[in-house]
Amino acid sequence: MENFLLKLSIMLVPGLMAITFHEVSHGFIAWRFGDNTARSLGRLTLNPLKHLDIIGTIMIIVIGIGWAKPVPVNYNNLHNPKRDMMWVAAAGPITNTIIALLSALLIRIIVPLTEPLPDSSWLQLFIEPILLMLAFSIYINLLLALFNLVPLPPLDGGRVLMGLLPYRQAAALAKIEPYGMIIIIVLVFFTDLFRYTVLPLLGSAVHLIAGPQSGLVFSVTQYLLK
């Protein structure tokens, strides 16, 4: 129990930030492009309680990937529905990527500054949990960005693809959306597709942005998710 609470204390803040900023960015871009639905429902807030999906949050803690309540978007209110919906969808993965980059920048700055400090110093004891949270922030934000870019609706990548395709092909892809989550669950839990596509890309992305601190990111996430 004590070990679980320790892991939870490290994962909770970066996990909530990742899914909250992801959803708010969808609603914010939709509002900028003419749809006031999310704002009128109080979803343009950084209060995570407004965005939490209980099962999705538990999944983040258990397997390292989860989801929030989708921000409602009225497609017909957008200035240019087909084009604008593409940017609304892309906002989530872009936001997660920016958070991962900022976390990586901080961890690259902090680690060299604290390495000379003795492990028992008060500053090291204060900074260590911050480093652990930054390491998990890199992992969870990159994972959410990459996973959501899978080109299958209702994931963001599917909606971006619908914005890029001609109308006939986009309409055909849209017909998959009611069954999209079932397909995704089957692919993630009952095939090796996730392990051979998203995870290798995730590893490369961590190496790219975390550089010499990528080992820290991998060791922290392995500890948290085992």
Question: In the numeric block, which tokens belong to residue 208?
Answer: 């790219």
Cα separations in angstroms, 197 against 143, 146, 193 = 12, 10, 6
Note if 23 is an active site residue: yes
Q: Which of 23, 115, 128, 177 is catalytic?
A: 23
Task: Using alpha carbons, select from 18, 2, 5 the residue that is nearest to residue 138.
Answer: 18
Cα separations in angstroms, 157 against 116, 124, 151 = 44, 41, 4
3-state secondary structure of 32: helix
Question: In the numeric block, which tokens belong to residue 120?
Answer: 């028992």
Question: In the numeric block, which tokens belong to residue 76?
Answer: 């017909």
Q: Which residues have a catalytic role annotated?
A: 23
